[in-house]
Chain A
């Protein structure tokens, strides 16, 4: 084993450990990320569904108003 390799084999684990220690507080477990993502997806899906339902209710009420307006126009036409 060359001197370089010996130095490398000694230094490398220390460097890795130092890096690990430095980053440890920022590590997140993959399963936590997946759980959070899944919750976020559920919230967004719920939100989109809810908005779609809100649009549907509004659409129904607008349709009812449109029909009412058409009826009034017909009545006005009939009177004039």
Chain B
């Protein structure tokens, strides 16, 4: 047998099969597979919610298959940054508002104004996702920045607060000192894998002191960090740091670990956190959730002396979803977004995740094992004047964001910088003279 001819023929046949196979439609015309990339892989309640929405939608639309790939946030963002420029991104993906500007500028998002049912979403939540007069993402999760605390430990220190109670700035310092003296870790917080948790107390204190307008100006580079009010707040935070407010492992504790640190081992008095706390904390205890009998309390951030808005509170939009501008299935993608946003879905979201959502739902109706927590959370928000957007959502410059992560999130609360040095570094990176 002429082996040379046989081998050449086999190679040719293989090539033809590869090329020809790609020309043949791989599915029937009505079959659509919608690819979704999502964060929250380590939050079982949210995974359950999105899986249920996907499953229900598939039942309603035979031929529609929704394939969700779960990531951790950093991994998701890295995957998107390589897949989208290569034209290989998913149809729908998770995004947070701090990413909006760059993705819109890069042209990777489909405007949603005429695609989704906006009657299901609160207008103020929709506004977070608007740029250049268009809406680019559908918000799902609303994070209220509160301070979770151990009620029993606080009582031992002589502090009993009403729901959503608020201490003065000096009383807060006293509480931290008392906790340290009693051998407690005052604040469980870690910045090992996120660029924002270390700045919760700083951010809310600045919001209370400056008021909404000047607070927004600070993070958009229009107000200097040398402003006496800013220096006053940073000086107060320095008192907390010097009093031992944060754990020694502050630099390396990861976000998820700080939850466990707070309600389990070794335990801490307080945990400043967004209300996405429930996504991890209400997992079963053997899967890292808080103990069933944990005495969880909720307080507001301290009132600042002479503060312009001590009842202001940051309400950030967290998990949201967008549609890839290159998708071949915009209609199906929009249906998936709508399906996640119905009042019924909102009810499922709250029933599983115990968090406020951006979908219009009457959340006072719900009970369940954590219904009391939800009632307490909503009670704590009664007199709050919300400021929509975390500092990182407001910044658009990469250098400023990097400095925020290294300075105000990490080094300053970690006790590595003086007030003057922190002011100098933030001004150098963010202030537009």
Q: Do A and B come from one complex?
A: no
